Structure 1
Amino acid sequence: MLGFNRNNLNKSHEGPWLLLDLVMLGLLFINLIWIIFDSLYSTEIVKQSLAYVSESLVTGYAPIHKNFLLIDLAFVAVFLTEFCLRWIVAVVKKTYLRWYFFPFIHFYDLIGCIPLGAARIFRFLRIFSILHRLHKYEIIDLRRTALFRFIAFYYDVFVEELSDRIVVKVLSDAQKDIAAGSPLVEDITQNVLASRLPVITRWTASVMSHIGESIEHNDHGESVRQHVSNSVGKAVTGNPQISSLKLVPVLGSTIERTLESAVTDIVTQSIVNLLKDMTPEKIDDFVKHGIGRFSSEDEALDDEVLAVVNECIELIKHHVSQQRWKSEFEEKTSPSADLIKQTDPHPPPKL
């Protein structure tokens, strides 16, 4: 059911344009049916059939057939007038960024006005243009029609099948490049990371400094200090030399607790100082002489990274190549879909 929303029509203030659209739809149908009839009239079979019904019908339409181009030009004049009127309104309302965009966007209207057989087919597009305009203002709802759902479903199928094959092809070519010895890891290191290394080191130094300040804070660093205290406590308890301090009369336990507290403070403050003293220059030096050398010289690691990339691409290809429209189609045609139809205002199309 197409439906018609009178409230949205009043809100859109498109009443006069709706009337014009209906008039244009009527003229389009008359013109297109007339074109089809005139084309069929040129065939001998249709002439004989019409003569069998009424000889006067054939002889009476003959002058119209000979001058049909003039009749079609009358329709073309109406269509061009309506086109120019909408163009002027679009310019006044500044619908498009430039005034001359309108004829390019609505090119099918201009081509359809050419009184030639091949160009007249574009007049069908004017019908869809009018319907789309009414749908845009929610005056009618094309989604409620079975034809719209049918076309939308197979359009999605076509787009999905086409895009999936393109993506799989691109990923397969990438895998071939990697298998042929593509220096992917080295390119990422030199072309991507190297140019951004100063920013990364400054960010890392800033983050480490903030972490050190948080640990040093009385409230925010409590969890870290508690963890260090527990770790030191376990280490002190498990150390036989320190455990022997308990054997000292009276002061043994006190010495052990004092030593544990002192070690905890020393370890915590060492971590804080390490984090706060990390400057971008130190991090950059560490990367160049440590991680950088390791990433560029260890071929085994490069091969492993490329293998991971290749497996990830393979998983992406497998996921992309799955035809999701088939599962959706099976869901729509399953027995449970009948229960959904009872509550769904827009049931799936019948295929």
Structure 2
Amino acid sequence: MTEQKSSTQQNHPSIRYDTMGWKLFLIYDIFMMVIIIINLFCIVANAFLLSNFAAWLFDFIHLSQILSYYKEHLVPWVNLTESWFIIFLIVELGIRWFIAIIQKHHARWFFFPFVHWYEVLAIIPYLRFLRLIRAGVIAFRLQELGYIVIPPKLIKRFNFYYHLVMEELSDRVVITVLDGVKKELDTSSTHKQIIHDLVDHHRDMFAQTLADILQETLATELKAQQQVIADSVGDVVVKAIEDTPELTQLLKLIPIAGGMIESRLHAIGHRLGENVTIGLMQPFVTGSVQKPNSSYQLIAEKLSQLNINNQSLEQLVESVVYESLESMRKQVAVKQWQLELKKNDQLKE
């Protein structure tokens, strides 16, 4: 608990926790939480003892005279105590409101009752259950300060069931929405237009993404393989020269120098193939991911402007949309609370 207090003090360095004012504030918070719980307990007990079930139960255990004594002598005191407590809450709320105005706790003086709406409504007898919220707020504040008001196991279990309920509710909503979208696409005659609008809306994003991908992958790979490709093209040119019988026959007619010319011609052809290949590839290896070169930008823009009024393309887009919806539905259907429960069970084992 001391470590928790230290961490809390580090989170709020402007607040001194060793002053008398802070200690009085802490004692007052604990006092309010205790009397609220006692008050609510008395109200619940009083409601139970005045019910028909209590009358039957006390009659069954032959203690009806005790119940009669309670109704005759103690009920007026319970009602009077509740009236005093309501007056106390009104005065206490008024004093805190006055202090909040003096110390400017809120941007406007009239913000206080809206911030503490549950305290204002809890004064009304029929809304007394809202007093539990204030007790819960005080308990949470004490818990943050390191004072264990609620056992950690109980908090952990409460959080588990809270997330369970919220997950089930959110999953139902999301699955209902996804099923509604799928049904709309199945039954509506305008779903093609919806898909077209979806594609049109993302054409610019598609073009930019495609240009980035081409620059990041194709340009990088071409640059890495540039010399290998150039050598291969040079070899192709040399092979083409060798496979040209007319040129070979012509070189043989030249005495002595024919063989040397043929060798030099092979070297020139190989070098020529390399240079042409490097020159052709050069526009596709320049640029960066942040700024793709103009060739890739042009290719991406042309591809993004493809007309999707094509049956095969429409079927492809529809398949992507349907599978995306189904994938989301399967993911939402996974019960995270069940996985957590299994994990906890395995740790216990």
TM-score where L is the length of structure 2: 0.70
Q: Kindly report which structure 2 residues correspond to 1:240-319, keeping only aligned pairs within 5 A, or say none.
A: 241=242, 249-273=259-283, 278=295, 287=302, 292=305, 294-319=306-331
SS of 2:280's equivalent? helix
**CA deviation vs aligned residue, 1:93-119 (integer Å, no higher than 9, x gap):** 7665655444233322111112x2x21
Q: Distance in 1 between matches of 2:264 and 2:102?
A: 91
Residue 6 and residue 277 in structure 1: after superposition, are their counterparts in 2 closer, same or farther (change >3 A)? closer
SS of 2:226's equivalent? helix
Checking the alignment, whether the CA contact within 8 Å between 2:119 and 2:131 is kept in structure 1 is yes
2:171 alignment partner in structure 1: 164
Following superposition, the deviation at residue 78 of structure 1 comes to 2.9
Measured on the aligned residues, the alpha-carbon RMSD in Å equals 4.4
Checking the alignment, whether the CA contact within 8 Å between 2:238 and 2:270 is kept in structure 1 is no
Residue 206 and residue 222 in structure 1: after superposition, are their counterparts in 2 closer, same or farther (change >3 A)? closer
Checking the alignment, whether the CA contact within 8 Å between 1:111 and 1:119 is kept in structure 2 is yes
Following superposition, the deviation at residue 329 of structure 1 comes to 1.6
Residue 98 and residue 295 in structure 1: after superposition, are their counterparts in 2 closer, same or farther (change >3 A)? farther
Instruction: Return the match for 1:135 from 105, 119, 143.
Output: 143
2:39 alignment partner in structure 1: 31
Instruction: Return the match for 1:155 from 158, 162, 174.
Output: 162
2:30 alignment partner in structure 1: 22
Following superposition, the deviation at residue 169 of structure 1 comes to 1.3
1:173 alignment partner in structure 2: 180
Q: Which amino acid aligns with 1:152?
A: N
- The question of 1:123 aligning with 2:131 is answered yes
Q: Which amino acid aligns with 1:75?
A: F
Checking the alignment, whether the CA contact within 8 Å between 1:236 and 1:243 is kept in structure 2 is no
Checking the alignment, whether the CA contact within 8 Å between 2:238 and 2:266 is kept in structure 1 is no
**CA deviation vs aligned residue, 1:45-94 (integer Å, no higher than 9, x gap):** 479948459x9x659x72x6336544323222333344345445656676
Count of aligned pairs between the two proteins: 315
**CA deviation vs aligned residue, 1:3-58 (integer Å, no higher than 9, x gap):** 995545766534332111111122213322333344455468479948459x9x65
Residue 254 and residue 19 in structure 1: after superposition, are their counterparts in 2 closer, same or farther (change >3 A)? farther
Q: Distance in 1 between matches of 2:223 and 2:207?
A: 29
Residue 232 and residue 243 in structure 1: after superposition, are their counterparts in 2 closer, same or farther (change >3 A)? farther
Q: Kindly report which structure 2 residues correspond to 1:95-244, keeping only aligned pairs within 5 A, or say none.
A: 99-114=109-124, 116=125, 118-140=126-148, 142=150, 144-180=151-187, 181=189, 182-183=191-192, 184-193=194-203, 196=204, 200=207, 223=224, 225-236=226-237, 238-239=239-240, 241=242
Identity among equivalent pairs (%): 20
Q: Which amino acid aligns with 1:302?
A: E
Checking the alignment, whether the CA contact within 8 Å between 1:242 and 1:256 is kept in structure 2 is no
Q: Distance in 2 between matches of 1:261 and 1:103?
A: 87
Q: Distance in 2 between matches of 1:234 and 1:186?
A: 48
Following superposition, the deviation at residue 222 of structure 1 comes to 5.8
Q: Distance in 1 between matches of 2:215 and 2:109?
A: 58
Q: Distance in 1 between matches of 2:348 and 2:43?
A: 44
Q: Distance in 1 between matches of 2:243 and 2:169?
A: 73
Unaligned runs of 5+ in 2: 252-257, 287-292
Instruction: Return the match for 1:320 from 327, 332, 338.
Output: 332
Residue 322 and residue 279 in structure 1: after superposition, are their counterparts in 2 closer, same or farther (change >3 A)? closer
